[in-house]
Chains A and B, each alone.
Chain A
């Protein structure tokens, strides 16, 4: 059976369609293996070869991968939630309630989105602490640390903008307090607050602005920064594997 499956797959890999999509293909020798990575738009962000040590639990506790996992869960559940959510003032709260009580699996998706959001903030901080206390931010990985800080800021902004969307009392007053904090920035504070809310109070404009930031601008920024973050791992010689790292 296994043999038949193997011959079937290798037969598939030699078809013209497969070869046109995946070019070199995998297996056989190191050249073909590395080409399989280099010629795939998603895989080429990663290195062709990585050390066994960097895959161990000890090296990373898998915190970066887990952060990416929560991000992917959030993107998937978020897109699904968008299908039932209208970012307008009387409707937003009712839609949130509908998702909880009316829509099939709505409560599951909403809770998955909410808990993953909390988990992502926790995991991103944990990832940062792990990198810091191992000293993995040092040369040649300084720039990737900077990209990571940007990703932390984007994560926190995603968390903050998402907080307003249920449009309940907690959301409304949290954003009222948050936007008033912003207005205490010297000179430009009031202007920043006005631009962020699109008005003087937390209102329909603020809800729409936060929605666009939460669903379009910030996720796109996060995806771009993630691509740079992962590509830099390869460019900086792989993950830091502890004292005696080849790049130290």
Chain B
């Protein structure tokens, strides 16, 4: 093969550069696709599909455990079961500010948060402090066995009393 023939068989510089550009684009595209796939895969992997957390539904026992005018806190489930003059209701004991567990102060008759000083009354209404809103009211019902049940994941409108 002569030197001249060899030169002719080589592709022209223009077409060579466009082919190279096409391969670069293909490579960048493939890398972007792989990156997006890895992001989706990583997000899915990091979100647990099964949680071994406590059930949101709590059994608060027989209603006659709670005398009229009592506020009872269950530290384990983070709820208040309150037997007011109009009936039973339950409040979340988790502060609406940053999630600390509040405590019932019987002497002052208020719910107080130890972290940043928010205060609520026995109806869960905000009295004071950095909390943006009052304590949520939780759905309360009587089970077939006559136990008081509270769903911590279901909030209701305030002043929904349960009469037994």
Chain A interface residues (CB < 8 Å from chain B)? 173, 176-177, 179-181, 194-195, 198-201, 203-205
Tell which of A177, A179, A181, A199 touches B51, judged by Cβ atoms closer than 8 Å: A199
The reply to whether A177 and B48 form a contact with Cβ atoms under 8 Å apart is no
Q: Given that A195-B46, A195-B47, A198-B46 are known contacts, is A204 also in contact with B98, CB under 8 Å in the complex?
A: no
Of all A-B residue pairs in the complex, the 9 with the closest CB atoms, nearest first, are A180-B99, A180-B98, A177-B98, A176-B99, A195-B46, A199-B51, A198-B48, A199-B53, A173-B100
The reply to whether A177 and B99 form a contact with Cβ atoms under 8 Å apart is yes
Closest to A173 in B: B100
Which residues from chain B contact A177 at a C-beta distance below 8 Å? 98-100, 115
Interface size of B as a range: 10 to 19
Closest to B43 in A: A195
User: Least Cβ distance of B65 to chain A in Å?
Assistant: 26
The reply to whether A203 and B53 form a contact with Cβ atoms under 8 Å apart is yes
The reply to whether B53 and A201 form a contact with Cβ atoms under 8 Å apart is yes
Of the A-B pairs whose beta carbons lie under 8 Å apart in the complex, a sample of 24, sorted by A's number, is: A173-B100, A173-B115, A176-B99, A176-B100, A177-B98, A177-B99, A179-B99, A180-B98, A180-B99, A181-B98, A194-B47, A195-B43, A195-B46, A195-B47, A198-B46, A198-B48, A199-B48, A199-B51, A199-B53, A200-B51, A203-B53, A204-B52, A205-B48, A205-B51
Q: In the bound complex, what is the Cα–Cα distance between A201 and B99 (angstroms)? A: 10
With A177-B98, A203-B53, A205-B48 known, 18 other A-B pairs at CB within 8 A are A173-B100, A176-B99, A176-B100, A177-B99, A177-B115, A179-B99, A180-B98, A180-B99, A181-B98, A195-B43, A195-B46, A199-B51, A199-B53, A200-B51, A200-B53, A201-B53, A204-B52, A205-B51
Count chain A CB atoms within 10 A of each CB in B98, B100, B115 and give the residue with the most: B98
Chain B interface residues (CB < 8 Å from chain A)? 43, 46-48, 51-53, 98-100, 115
Main secondary structure of the interface of B (DSSP, over half): loop
User: Least Cβ distance of B10 to chain A in Å?
Assistant: 42
User: Least Cβ distance of A208 to chain B in Å?
Assistant: 11
The reply to whether B98 and A176 form a contact with Cβ atoms under 8 Å apart is yes
Which residues from chain A contact B53 at a C-beta distance below 8 Å? 199-201, 203
